[in-house]
Structures are given as structure tokens and as C-alpha cells.
Amino acid sequence: MVPPTTGPRPTKARIPPLPAEEMDERQTELMAQVGLGGPTVNIFATFVRHPGLFARWLPFGGKLLAGRLPARDRELLILRTGWRCGSEYEWAQHVVVGRAAGLTDDEIARVAVGPDAAGWDPFDALLLRAADELHDDSCLTDATWAALAERYDERQMVEVPVVVGHYHLVSFLLNSLGVPLEDGSERFPA
């Protein structure tokens, strides 16, 4: 199973993560807002090289992670987006978040196969289909919209394309800058 990409990815960081000892005061303050309490995560240590964008992006991304969509649903959308964008870094980070949101290892592996894989609950398959439609056509079909609207309220309906679009942006950043995976990170399924 190979993610659908159209070209090679960088084999090393084009813009490497900024070491903590090289951060200026503003970058250090921004990294403190991430509040991971553990090792520096490469996406943040790379993105903080542009403090103005990072400062605006961080609360937006945080809002989506604490949005109106159920966490499990959100993670299915994000994992499918990361897969379709060929962003192994995004995949690796959200495998961990997805497990915490209740996804099983079998479900995570099936995300790569897609909405037509055997074993999906119909609504889970619908979420993967929604991510695919947004990826392929930049729009949800009427049928997908109507099916999502049977369960989601208006705010959640707004959030679906925003989550998928945001994680396209993140995947574009990760892929183009060659942000390296942290040691021990999950890889794409074989």
C-alpha cells in the first residue's frame, strides 16, 4: 500500500527544525505556548522559524483539535488527508492522536485502504469519502453533504471542510520543507 503521490518527497530537511538554543526570545515564547512538556516536536521547531505565521497558526490549529467534531471523527478526516497528501509526518503524529481518540490499529491501517475497505461502520466510511471528495474535487457532493447533515449540526458541517483543508495546508508544509519524523514515529502502513 503506497500513498497516492505524484512525485518524490525530500529525503532530508530543506529547512531543519530550529534547535532550542538558537531560538530568539519570541520563538522561545511561542514554543512555550505549544506546552508539550516533552521533547520538541519537529513540526513546531521548523514552523517557528517563521514566528509571525506560527503565532497565527498555532491558535487556529489548536481550535480545530478542540472543535465541535467528535475527536474520533476528526482524526479519521485528518489521517485520510495525511494519507492522500502523502504526508508521512502528518500520519505519524495523528496515529498517536487517533489512538487516544479511540481508533484501533486495525481502523488506522484501513484508513489507508479508504472508504470502500471492508469493516467500516457506514459513518466512518462516509468521513473517509468526505476527505477524498475534498481532496479530489475541493467540494463535498450533495449526497455526502446530506448524509453528514443527518448527524452533524451546522457548526460541525462548517468544520468538516475546514479540518480537511487545514490538514492539506499542514501536509503541504511538512512535505515541502521535508520536516523529519521524530525517532520511533509510526510509518505509513506497508
Residues sharing a CB contact under 8 Å with residue 164, sequence separation 6 or more, in sequence order = 77, 81, 130, 131, 134, 135
Q: Tell me, which fold does domain 71-177 have in CATH?
A: AhpD-like (1.20.1290)
Q: How far is CA 180 from CA 12, 61, 89, 171, 184, in A?
A: 7, 20, 7, 13, 12
Can you read off the three cell numbers belonging to residue 125?
A: 466510511
**Among the listed residues 177, 170, 147, the one whose alpha carbon sits nearest the alpha carbon of residue 91:** 170
Question: pTM (2 decimals)?
Answer: 0.94
38 pLDDT tier (thresholds 50, 70, 90): low
The CA distance from 39 to 97, in Å, is 16
189 pLDDT tier (thresholds 50, 70, 90): confident
- In three-state secondary structure terms, 72 is helix
Q: What is the pLDDT of residues 44-61, one digit of tens each?
A: 999 999 999 999 999 999
Region 64-90 average pLDDT: 96
Q: What is the pLDDT of residues 145-179, one digit of tens each?
A: 999 999 999 999 999 999 999 999 999 999 999 99
pLDDT at position 115: 97
